[in-house]
Structures are given as structure tokens and as C-alpha cells.
Amino acid sequence: MAPEISNLSMFFLIFFVLIPVSLSYLYSLGLSGPILWSSFRGIVQLFLIGYILTYLFSLEPLTGITIMLTVMILVAAFHASKKGTGIPYVRPITLCIIVIIEIFVLAMWLGFQMISFQPDQVIPMSGMVIGNSMVAIGLALERMKSEFKEGESKITAALALGAKPEQASKILVRKIVKSSMIPNVDGLKTIGLVQLPGMMTGLILGGVAPIEAIRFQIVISLSIFASVSLSAMFVTIIFYRFFFNENQQMIKIEEN
């Protein structure tokens, strides 16, 4: 049975926040304010979502799951697309990518009976998939803008020599996809050795048998790995084309 954490114990968690705040102040990083605000915002959001999930879990599965997934996908698309400011149609395309990936993963889970169509299973696991897809998309968009800006001269030279946009940017596309996937690849390599995943740990603390908890963790870990890979690939393959005009000339993406 999981131990109860008292309010006093929760209060002392402030020391975990004060450590990075102190380091930011010591090295003049200018992150003290953002750290405090992010910590406060995160705590408030977690408490709110706790009450919201309690309510959603009491609804019919289709209703509760649909409401929560819709909110998570919209928020994820909004935040991920901010990294691609200036790229045409970045928000609706990002939204479509996340929706497609979530539908694909959820269909796999339910089709092969890995989980049941219940809010307490679908919502938490989908949240992990959507959240990691959001990070991968944001990272790919940010890296894409940076790589195309730095490699502008090489791409322009290749185009001048007769290369098509897909040929001129082929190396950059590979680099962007690879850099977006590396953190997840490294995490998967060391899972269970360097870190005990949160889902598995939570299930074990909740009284689930370790072997059963590991099964769920394998499902979510490989699902996240697939969703991150697909997110990075879709974003890169779709959006690199917006760096070229109809005359196959490279254009600059301006921040709005």
C-alpha cells in the first residue's frame, strides 16, 4: 500500500525548488522568476487536474475520455506549434499530426487488448504519448528553423547547381529527425537500469504486482518511442517544404 504524504511533508518540498533558484541567483542565470512561477503553476495545475480527473472518471467512458483527450491534444498542439512561429499552417498541421498519432496508438492498445477503454487507463497513458509527441514536435520545429538558417548558404548553392529542394535539404532533414529522436533513444537504452519509470513505480506503489507493472511500462515506453519517432518524421517531412517557394527557391521564415 502506498504511503500517505502529509501536508507538512509537502511543504518541505519547497527546498527542492530553492536549490535551482539559488543556483540561478548565484550564477546570474535570470531563471529564478521562471522557476518559481513554473513550480507554482505546475502544482496548481496538478491539483486541479486531480479534481477534474476524479469527475471525468465518474462519467461514461466515451464522454470522459473524449473530453480529456480533446483538451490535452489542443493544449499540446498550441504549445508545440509556438516553436514553429512563422512557418505557414504550423498550428493546424501540428494538431493533425498529434491527432493521427494518438488515434494510431490508441487503436493499437485497444485492438490488441493491451488496455481497456476506461478513463483511468486511457487518459493517463494517452497523456504520456501526447506529451512526449508535443516535446518531439517542438524540438523538431525549433531545430528545423535553426538548421535551415545556419545551412542557408549550402542549400542555396545546391539549388543553384540544379538540385531540387528535397535533394538540397536531405542532409538537414536527416539531422533534424535524428536530433529529435536521440533523447528518447537514450532513455529507452537505460530504462530500468539508470531510472525506474514513473508509471511502473506508481503501479508498484499502488499495490500492483511488479511483473504486471512492468508489462504496462513496456507498453507505454514502446508507444512513446513510436509516437516520438513518428512525430519527428512527420513534422520534418511536412514542414521543410515551407522553406522553399513555388520556384524551388529557399525563403526565409520570419518570426510573427
pLDDT tens for 61-88 read 999 999 999 999 999 999 999 999 999 9
**Nearest alpha carbon to residue 103 among 126, 123, 136, 125:** 126
Percent of the chain with pLDDT over 70: 95
* Cell digits of residue 48: 486541479
d(CA 130, CA 135): 9
Average pLDDT on 99-105 reads: 97
CA dihedral sign, ordered 72, 76, 79, 85: negative
What pTM did the predictor assign?
0.85
On the question of pLDDT at 236 being above 90, the answer is: yes
Which of 9-13, 92-96, 214-218 has maximum average pLDDT? 92-96
Q: Which has more confidence, 221 or 10? A: 221
Domain residue ranges in the chain = 1-58, 61-243
At what angle are helices 119-150 and 210-239 packed, to 10 degrees?
40
> Can you tell me which residue has the cell 491534444?
73
Instruction: Render pLDDT for 136-191 as a digit per residue (tens, 0 to 9).
Output: 999 999 999 999 999 999 999 999 889 999 999 988 888 888 887 888 788 778 77
d(CA 122, CA 128): 10
What is the DSSP secondary structure assignment for residue 6, as one 8-state letter? Answer: P
Do 115 and 125 form a contact (C-beta atoms < 8 A)?
Answer: yes
d(CA 143, CA 172): 10
d(CA 217, CA 201): 9
Residue 103's alpha-carbon distances to 32, 87, 163, 227, in angstroms, are 39, 25, 37, 11
Residue 27's alpha-carbon distances to 14, 23, 33, 110, in angstroms, are 20, 6, 14, 50
**Dihedral angle over CA of 211, 213, 214, 216, nearest 10:** 130
Do 144 and 240 form a contact (C-beta atoms < 8 A)?
Answer: yes
Q: If pLDDT is split at 50, 70 and 90, which confidence band does 194 have?
A: low
Q: If pLDDT is split at 50, 70 and 90, which confidence band does 135 have?
A: very high
